[in-house]
A and B are shown apart, each in its own frame.
Chain A
Amino acid sequence: MKQENIRNFCIIAHIDHGKSTLADRFIQKSGIISDRDFRDQILDSMDIERERGITIKSQAITMPYTSRSGENYALNLVDTPGHVDFSYEVSRTIYACEGALLLIDATQGVEAQTLSNFFMALEHNLEIIPVINKIDLPSSDIEGVKHQIDHELGLDPDSALMVSAKAGTGLEELLEAIVERVPAPKGDREAPLKALIFDSHYDSYRGVVVHIRVFEGILKPEDIIKLWSTKAQYKVEETGIFKISLAKTKELCAGEVGYFVAGIKTISDTKIGDTITQMKNPCTQPLEGFREVKPVVFSSIYPVDANDYDELASSMEKLKLNDASLVYEKDSSAALGFGFRCGFLGLLHLEIVQERIEREFGLSIVFTAPSVRYYIYKKDGQMIKIDNPLEFPDVTYIEKTEEPYIRATIMTPTEYLGNIINLCLEKRGEQTSMNYLDEKRVEIIYEMPLSEVVFDFYDRLKSLSRGYASFDYSLIDYKETDLVKLDILINSKPVDALSMLVFKDNAYARARSICKKLSNEIPRHQFKVPIQGAVGNSIIARETIPALRKDVTAKCYGGDITRKRKLLEKQKAGKKRMKMVGNVELPQSAFLSVLKTDTE
């Protein structure tokens, strides 16, 4: 395909504005898949993606298109993940394109992620085509959205296209606009190879399939290539483009989006954002913006049934094949037995891994409270890095402790500013700047401990701003902190898997909240079960679960039998997911409840 006839674009949108539906329509329209094989959200291949309505992994697809002028084009749609945990991946996807469809729901208008994605696309000089979706809904407000496009995004509202992805209206015009308005890729085919890895996946037949955008030069089978960051060399076995399944090509040229296979064994050998070049005639500079993605949130995973450890180990290996950002090592706990200490990109990433283990591998697991990595300076001059509360040394040996800080950029409509500032203050944030973008929107920048963000920041930010505030962060450095280890005792026995490292001033409130939540989650036993929070030897919070009799001493007559039996059946199912700690049965939900915030 001639470079002039290639268009590389992505769709960026706030969650639920119809990104996956629009992608589906494009695919149907291009005819690369029969209607019989078609299913909704075709690019979201994981069940979790379909259910949560979010895209976790980037996906790409090449669609043939014949324009009204009769010219044949290759339209490369690169789908982007949709969450702040994956913002680096989104930035690499955007980097792979020349144009972006900025999809806005006509009933919702410009929202938080519309903004953050818009700025990211702007930063990479993409041609942005505003697209107003869901125009057929009675509650749509097209004029209002156009006004926002003009005032909040500074784009020409007349350039916006009207579509209904669901009904399939306006698609022709949109495809024409992509051809007309998105610039063709530029890049010298004769120059040394320079290509961007924007994703990769594991295929059990081919090994690692690397998703790339070629910027300069040509990549073809038999080429010996080098990955810039690792300097690893591989021989290319196959190149091709994405057509729902993989379609082999002779080569991939400057401007094209496609894949290659080169006998790469594991996905962690390919780093997103890395540059590929030829061994023989390498480019002189890598593509910019590469970053080593490092886990920032740590948590341990244990099987509910200790006999499932081997199965868990093999599922972790399988997950790792497709998820380079997941890192883990063996771990063990007195309460929970053997498991794994894992590193994640963020809380959503953690939740996704949990769900995938449970669904794809059918294992019941428990997670420990997420933690960041702390620096502990000991009195003997030694410095240790820990992310696991079990490794926290006795306080008498500690000189000082440090925790990682982030720079948080929050954009919000002004009416929520007060709420958000209060939240940031509560989270030990220090404001470094505040800029009014216009009379309605403001950007605030805070430096705050990552541990505070990990706990419940994102959910609360979203609820305080009714979903309108957008949030992005980057790690800055470590700062001194006052760290204590909070232990949770159930029936007077410390449960190591429930321990956590917390900022001293937060310990009391956190302990109270955890004890309360646990008291709601732990079923009643034949004896009273005290739940206590302790720092060192002092108990700082306590709840008691009374013994269970009430359910039996309530009335039970002819109309109650079925209900009673069903209730017991539910309890029985829940019992399978219980973990015995001492003589107390802890349900999986008890471990999970500790991770969640209470909204009061």
Chain B
Amino acid sequence: MGIPDYIEPGKLKALALYIHIPFCVEKCDYCAFYSVAHSKAEWQEKWLQAVRLEFAKCRKLIGDIRISTIFIGGGTPSLLKLPLLEGLFKEIELFNLDGLEEYSIEANPESLSPDFLDLLKIYSIDRLSLGVQSLQPEELAMLGRRASLEHTLEALELLSAKWQGRLNLDFISGIPGQSQASLLDSLEKAIQMAKLDHISLYSLSAEEKTALQRRFQNEGLKHHPNHDSLWIKAYCFLQSQGFLNYEMANFAKPGKECRHNLAYWNLKPYWGFGPSAYSTLPGKKGVLRLSYASDLHLFNGRADKALAIESLTPKEFLTDTMIMGWRLKQGVSKGVFLRRFGSSLEDLLPGFYDFLVNKRILLQSKSHYRLSLKSRLFLDDVLLELMGALDELPSGLLRVNWPE
């Protein structure tokens, strides 16, 4: 399957780039991202080779369309041998990076090194996201994290001494055994120790096929009983520290929101590379969702064979727009909605819109379809209602113009 037949590059004004580095020393129990543990050096080299080829195909197609943001995630990007990582960075520089707004990479505490940070600086990578998860040893053990508390503290010290760029730390709430005090303690310590401008606070969820899910199912591990109140407490604490919740699981100092992730939530075109990576791109006949299979060796051998392409129906794309957009505090721009779907939400789905208004789900806003915090917390219920309303809409009525 050749990519060029399907994608309509002419519609692209800018593109967000994601690169998935699918290697970890070991899998953490809760992680559902695709990665390969105990990989051989040769696999990593082949991976870079495959990414290089896919990049080339992409560049041929998009020409000098501007890259707006880059995010290198994983897996554990910091695990890659530095020459390989440098090879990747060089390859990325072949894209048009004029006016690049943000360049992020993920790292884990145990593989963070001064050399790694130096390399980031050379290649102008200006945002680092570190998977901390918790600063309590028993919680780290519960998650099956490889990094000990010592590793993590060392990493934070190293960052505060050497890292000049923007910094995000990942935390998890709802870890079995976690208390309100321990969660707030982790957050507070981290804020004191490092110059961070962004915090991701994820609820622990037992994803399919993870070790954690097996532990819940077979070993009688119990879900955190007071998960909700724990999360709310952390939410209030972070707000009070100046980290404002701008997306369900993300908090940032004003102006320091992750621009790359905002491209996802606003559903702007993004192209993901690497096994398990997804893309949403304009196609010749509508919006396309591309995904590489979660299979390193298939990707390394014939990446084009690993690629699945799905064409989204207008209803699916509208649903996706709201699934993502309503996670944002700001909500979905009315202007964007109108340009994207050729009609306002109230004209398109009047019954649903009345439901939103009558149930006080929507907040007053001239510019955005914006949900109250409570409604965002119960977003799935709102989305189910939306999908029910969409079912009633004659399918010919909806047209998509995207990117708008």
Listed in ascending order, the chain A residues whose CB lies under 8 Å from chain B are 526, 546-559, 561-562, 564-565, 568-569, 571-572, 575
A546 touches B227 (CB 8 A): yes
Report the separation of the CA atoms of residues A164 and B249 in the bound assembly, to the nearest whole angstrom.
Answer: 62
B228 touches A546 (CB 8 A): yes
Report the separation of the CA atoms of residues A555 and B200 in the bound assembly, to the nearest whole angstrom.
Answer: 9
Residue B380 contacts which of A561, A562, A568 (CB distance < 8 angstroms)? A568
Closest chain B residue, CB of each to CB of A564: B323
The 4 closest A-B pairs by CB, nearest first: A553-B203, A559-B278, A558-B264, A554-B205
User: For residue A551, which residues in chain B have a CB less than 8 angstroms away from its CB?
Assistant: 205, 380
Closest chain A residue, CB of each to CB of B323: A564
B324 touches A556 (CB 8 A): yes
Report the separation of the CA atoms of residues A569 and B387 in the bound assembly, to the nearest whole angstrom.
Answer: 8
Please choose the segment from B58-66, B146-154, B184-192, B269-277 that sits at the chain A interface, where 4 or more of its residues have CB less than 8 A away: B269-277
Report the separation of the CA atoms of residues A571 and B385 in the bound assembly, to the nearest whole angstrom.
Answer: 11
Report the separation of the CA atoms of residues A562 and B289 in the bound assembly, to the nearest whole angstrom.
Answer: 8
B205 touches A550 (CB 8 A): yes
B172 to chain A, nearest CB (A): 10
Report the separation of the CA atoms of residues A555 and B205 in the bound assembly, to the nearest whole angstrom.
Answer: 9
Residue A568 contacts which of B203, B248, B384 (CB distance < 8 angstroms)? B384
Please choose the segment from B44-52, B75-83, B371-379 that sits at the chain A interface, where 4 or more of its residues have CB less than 8 A away: B371-379
User: For residue A568, which residues in chain B have a CB less than 8 angstroms away from its CB?
Assistant: 319, 323, 380, 383-384, 387
A-B contact pairs, 21 of them (CB 8 A): A526-B378, A550-B205, A550-B228, A551-B205, A552-B377, A553-B248, A554-B204, A555-B202, A556-B324, A557-B261, A557-B264, A558-B263, A558-B270, A558-B279, A559-B272, A561-B324, A562-B320, A565-B316, A568-B387, A571-B380, A571-B384
Which residues of chain B in 349-388 are interfacial with respect to chain A, using CB atoms and an 8 Å cutoff?
A: 376-381, 383-384, 387-388
B127 to chain A, nearest CB (A): 15
A552 touches B320 (CB 8 A): no
User: For residue B299, which residues in chain A have a CB less than 8 angstroms away from its CB?
Assistant: none
User: For residue B248, which residues in chain A have a CB less than 8 angstroms away from its CB?
Assistant: 552-553, 556
User: For residue B277, which residues in chain A have a CB less than 8 angstroms away from its CB?
Assistant: 559
A556 touches B327 (CB 8 A): yes
B93 to chain A, nearest CB (A): 22
User: For residue A553, which residues in chain B have a CB less than 8 angstroms away from its CB?
Assistant: 173, 201-203, 231, 248-249, 377
A546 touches B18 (CB 8 A): no
Q: Which one of A549, A558, A568, A569 has the highest number of Cβ atoms from chain B below 10 Å of its Cβ?
A: A558
Report the separation of the CA atoms of residues A53 and B24 in the bound assembly, to the nearest whole angstrom.
Answer: 47
Size of interface on B: residues with Cβ below 8 Å to A: 44
Determine whether B101 belongs to the interface, using a CB cutoff of 8 Å to chain A: no
Q: Is the interface of A mostly helix, strand, loop or mixed?
A: helix
Residue A550 contacts which of B227, B270, B319 (CB distance < 8 angstroms)? B227
A583 to chain B, nearest CB (A): 13
User: For residue B204, which residues in chain A have a CB less than 8 angstroms away from its CB?
Assistant: 554
Q: Is the interface of B mostly helix, strand, loop or mixed?
A: mixed
User: For residue B133, which residues in chain A have a CB less than 8 angstroms away from its CB?
Assistant: none
Determine whether B291 belongs to the interface, using a CB cutoff of 8 Å to chain A: yes
User: For residue B270, which residues in chain A have a CB less than 8 angstroms away from its CB?
Assistant: 558
Determine whether B22 belongs to the interface, using a CB cutoff of 8 Å to chain A: no
B228 touches A572 (CB 8 A): no
Given A558-B280, A568-B384, 19 other A-B residues pairs in contact with their CB atoms under 8 A: A526-B378, A546-B225, A547-B228, A549-B228, A552-B377, A552-B379, A553-B201, A555-B200, A555-B249, A556-B327, A557-B264, A558-B263, A558-B278, A561-B280, A562-B278, A562-B289, A565-B316, A568-B323, A572-B384
Do A572 and B376 form a contact, CB below 8 Å, given A554-B205, A559-B276? no
Determine whether B157 belongs to the interface, using a CB cutoff of 8 Å to chain A: no
Determine whether B310 belongs to the interface, using a CB cutoff of 8 Å to chain A: yes
User: For residue B319, which residues in chain A have a CB less than 8 angstroms away from its CB?
Assistant: 565, 568
A373 to chain B, nearest CB (A): 39
Determine whether B286 belongs to the interface, using a CB cutoff of 8 Å to chain A: no
User: For residue A556, which residues in chain B have a CB less than 8 angstroms away from its CB?
Assistant: 248-249, 323-324, 327
B200 touches A565 (CB 8 A): no
Do A572 and B280 form a contact, CB below 8 Å, given A550-B205, A553-B248, A555-B200? no
Report the separation of the CA atoms of residues A564 and B32 in the bound assembly, to the nearest whole angstrom.
Answer: 14
User: For residue A550, which residues in chain B have a CB less than 8 angstroms away from its CB?
Assistant: 174, 203, 205, 227-228, 231
Report the separation of the CA atoms of residues A565 and B264 in the bound assembly, to the nearest whole angstrom.
Answer: 14
User: For residue B263, which residues in chain A have a CB less than 8 angstroms away from its CB?
Assistant: 558
Report the separation of the CA atoms of residues A241 and B361 in the bound assembly, to the nearest whole angstrom.
Answer: 68
Q: Which one of A550, A554, A564, A569 has the highest number of Cβ atoms from chain B below 10 Å of its Cβ?
A: A550
A134 to chain B, nearest CB (A): 35
User: For residue A557, which residues in chain B have a CB less than 8 angstroms away from its CB?
Assistant: 261, 264
Report the separation of the CA atoms of residues A569 and B279 in the bound assembly, to the nearest whole angstrom.
Answer: 21
Do A549 and B227 form a contact, CB below 8 Å, given A526-B378, A526-B381, A568-B323? yes
Report the separation of the CA atoms of residues A559 and B320 in the bound assembly, to the nearest whole angstrom.
Answer: 12
A565 touches B380 (CB 8 A): no
User: For residue B378, which residues in chain A have a CB less than 8 angstroms away from its CB?
Assistant: 526, 548-549, 552
A561 touches B205 (CB 8 A): no
Which residues of chain B in 308-346 are interfacial with respect to chain A, using CB atoms and an 8 Å cutoff?
A: 310, 316, 319-320, 323-324, 327
Closest chain B residue, CB of each to CB of A576: B388
Closest chain B residue, CB of each to CB of A559: B278
B323 touches A558 (CB 8 A): no
Do A562 and B383 form a contact, CB below 8 Å, given A553-B249, A555-B249, A568-B323? no
Report the separation of the CA atoms of residues A559 and B271 in the bound assembly, to the nearest whole angstrom.
Answer: 10
User: For residue A558, which residues in chain B have a CB less than 8 angstroms away from its CB?
Assistant: 18, 263-264, 270, 272, 278-280
User: For residue A575, which residues in chain B have a CB less than 8 angstroms away from its CB?
Assistant: 384, 388
Report the separation of the CA atoms of residues A568 and B379 in the bound assembly, to the nearest whole angstrom.
Answer: 11
Mark B32-73 against chain A: 1 for CB-CB distance below 8 A, else 0. 000000000000000000000000000000000000000000
Q: Which one of A526, A553, A555, A571 has the highest number of Cβ atoms from chain B below 10 Å of its Cβ?
A: A553
User: For residue A571, which residues in chain B have a CB less than 8 angstroms away from its CB?
Assistant: 380, 384
